[in-house]
Amino acid sequence: MGRRNDVGRRALLALTAGALGTQLSACARPGRAAGLHASLTISSGAPGGVYHAWAEALRHLAARRSRHLDLRVIPSAGSVQNVERLGRHDADLALTTQDSAILAQTGSDPFDTAVRPAALARVHDDYLHLLVRANSPVRSLRDLAGRRISVGPPRSGTALVARRVLGRARVTVRELLLDLGQSCDALRAGSLEGFFWSGGLPTPAVVELSQDLPLRAVAVDQVVEGLRADHGGIYRPALLPVGAYGLREPVGTLVCPNLLVCSPDTAENTVMAILEMMFDGRDELASAVPAANALDLRAAALTAPVGLHPGALQYYRSTKP
């Protein structure tokens, strides 16, 4: 009798896993959907930025592929606020730059207390933009001195890296703390002489601005080696490519990895199911957000020194390319 019960239970489990797997993806593995949260909140970024677009694309992907996972997107100032929300349990998932996540682990400025986010994946790189009008006299970091420049809103990854760049260049500006939309509006109106923005390529709000106002990007790559000496290898030299935002030549800048993170106490099968959905639906994500083309199974696990969530570690071990 016990043997028949065991067989019946195994058959029921197999049928249940197969049904849930069909909802998540064609190649889901048994058990990954079991115990999923009915609803998860993802702290994204400002509307018009890539974080927000990425989170919205993930929400739509979940709505199409799973009855068991409901994502709600909440806008934010950016990376720092996103991680702070995890620490207060005001969000279940968050997008953040790696530099912000590293500072969060020790409660270093700009964080008031330590937060230890667990990484699901490295998703794409943020490019630092320093944008001015095409006819601006600003040609270098040194030319920013004394000018009205937005470094991004408080509690953002943009403000963090912009201040590091200005500090390394030993340049003092008339600092404004505007979000991306406010910065674009102020540059368009002529009340701002330039602004920093750290985001994926292309950033929708900057694309829209470039259609109204000819832009020029100012090179910041001359401080990258100094930043690497100060903060380790999280920053890398890169180029804003020709054609981006109407640029006529490539412009030297820096990039910093972006991470999708969660609270360490998130259930392992929840994390595994989210990752499975993301990678199975990568093409759908990329069709909505070009930055998602950078989502790569080999690189996604390279989040150190921010540790992988145990569910993420299990997922990558089970899906080695």
In tens, the pLDDT along 94-145 reads 999 999 999 999 999 999 999 999 999 999 999 999 999 999 999 999 999 9
- The pLDDT tens digits for 254-301 are 999 999 999 999 999 999 999 999 999 999 999 999 999 999 999 999
> Which CATH number among 1.10.260.40, 3.40.190.10, 3.20.20.60, 3.40.50.1820 corresponds to the domain 126-257?
3.40.190.10
User: With b meaning 16 or more CB within 10 Å and e meaning fewer, what string describes 219-247?
Assistant: bbbebbeebeeebeebbeebbbeeebbeb
Question: Do 126-257 and 2-124+259-318 have the same topology in CATH?
Answer: yes
The pLDDT value recorded for residue 314 is 97
Query: pLDDT, tens digit, for every residue of 61-89?
Result: 999 987 788 999 999 999 999 999 999 99
Q: Give the pLDDT confidence of 166-198 residue by residue, as tens digits.
A: 999 999 999 999 999 999 999 999 999 999 999
Please state the domain extents for the chain. Answer: 2-124+259-318, 126-257
Going from the C-alpha of 115 to that of each of 85, 197, 213, 263, the distances in angstroms are: 10, 24, 40, 9
Contacts of 153 (CB under 8 A, 6+ apart): 46, 77, 78, 159, 177, 178, 179
pLDDT for 68 equals 80
* Superfamily grouping for domain 2-124+259-318: Periplasmic binding protein-like II (3.40.190.10)
pTM passes above 0.75: yes
Q: What is the mean pLDDT of the chain?
A: 89
Model confidence at 226: pLDDT above 70: yes
For a pLDDT cut of 90, what percent of the chain falls above it? 84
